[in-house]
A and B are shown apart, each in its own frame.
Chain A
Amino acid sequence: MEKFRVEHLNFHYGDKLALSDISISISDRRITALIGPSGCGKSTFLRCLNRMNDTIRGARVEGRVLLDGQDIYARGTDVVELRKRVGMVFQRPNPFPQSIFDNIAFGPRVLGLEGDLHQIVEESLRGAVLWDEVKDKLKQDALGLSLGQQQRLCIARTIAVKPEVILMDEPCSALDPIATLQIEELMQSLKEEYSIVIVTHNMQQASRVSDFTGFFWLGEMVEFDVTERVFTRPAQRITEDYITGRAG
């Protein structure tokens, strides 16, 4: 089932065209990886999916981004509600300087979500496979956790507001290999409930975790296909050159 449909998306930073005519369908409850060299537009594209680029001066979007059939760039779209539905995890873990509990409870409190807050916190931490490690120290400062735990905390914080899509912008680039594998395992369990779109520089990671892969090159999506095919027999020469380390 389709979660996002992007149609002829152009993105301008002032005079610069950063994304050109991107059309793609992102499946529900699947992991979609976006790969490509630095500056190719993959993070810009990711941020178009929950309008994180809105605040950039001179930024302009053309085309349509449909979430469950509704254009998120349509006039009158509630951007706060959009970002609740489409959450984001960033490159470096960015917990608030608060307790573990308050980090997770932050979103539900701000959004006034109904339900038992303790239950939401526990469910979110369990969902992020962090509960067993922190259940006895929920009042402790989140910054005392390891980087890998902090990133899982950020994922728990994201799922605490019950999103439908999780965007991940190089979520493992600051983590060691074990913490990276833990996040990757976590992604596999998260995709049972959420659609995930991940930007990664690590092609092995893209090939390990994702169901679909899109390859960006100079602001264009050159190839989009099931991951297995992209990494074994890509259709485009430039994709092959990039993933075999001969371009980019």
Chain B
Amino acid sequence: MPTSIAPSGADGAPASSRPSEAARAAETPGSAGGPAVRVQGLVKRYGGRDVVAGLDLVADAGAVTAVLGPNGAGKTTTVECCEGLRSPDGGTVRVLGLDPVADARVLRPRVGVMLQDGGMPTGARAGEVLHHVASMYAAPRDLGELGERLGVDAFARTTVRRLSGGQRQRLALAAAVVGRPEVVFLDEPSAGMDPQSRHAVWELVRELRDEGAAVVLTTHLMDEAEDLADRVHVVDHGRVIASGSVPELLSPDAQDDRTLRFDAVPGLDLADLAVALDAATPGAPGAWGATEPQPGSYVVTGPAGPRALAALTAWLADRDVLASRLTVGRRTLEDVFLDLTGRHLR
């Protein structure tokens, strides 16, 4: 597990350079070295069912933490407990060292929230909404700059009701960060966005991290987690089932593993293929695994060097099989995710 980056930031500014407001001076545990967010043994039940069942996670300042999981895994409920919107049925939640429910008044100015359903009043214009949220803070971000970089300017005079899904998401993100929060919770921030918008959102998230904020985002998008996150918590059935940086999750003991994918006639003898590949890569007996996730579509994982590739094509040639597609790639986060959470639909 990588050690946390000090919340004082890379520029070495001491935490005490923050405004010495009475409330803040008394409440600095979050900036004194512990993680910005610490969840331990969180339990949340709805109607007798454990939606979150003993979940642990941490998020550091100056880092992006992704909570990755399939729909219904408990991601949103977990962040809502962190935001003070729900009270846990068990376990503890600490944000900047404080209790999100009991210390809500102190935390609200320091925590930015983007809800999954947006939470934007539908009758008001986008620009007015952003201005209104900004007026809750003593020193908000420059609205012109923020509006420009997230493209809110372009639809500032449109009522929220008439915005597209992606536009609403960008407005909600702008509202989440306008108060210069130390901790930002983003619930599926790039859902419904076009590639350009996603790029703008990701840039902003990286910048928030570089400024020293703790960014916690939920997502079920692999590339989002893979590109953005310093740490990923894979959540399923209300628990964290794997944690670490992306390289760590891509199985540290098999860093050399690569994946060969090919399409051909269905029903090839995979055990025989594994034997042939094992023979071509001496020194790693039994290292090869082959699956046929869908008929005619094959995934072969192992120490896939040039010899293995040659052995694969020779094995196919011996059977007079032409691969219609053949790619060599690293194991992706998606492979890990599907291995961990299963491939069945839910």
Q: Do A and B bind each other?
A: no
**Chain B contacts to A: CB under 8 angstroms:** none
Interface residues of chain A, those whose CB is within 8 Å of chain B, are none
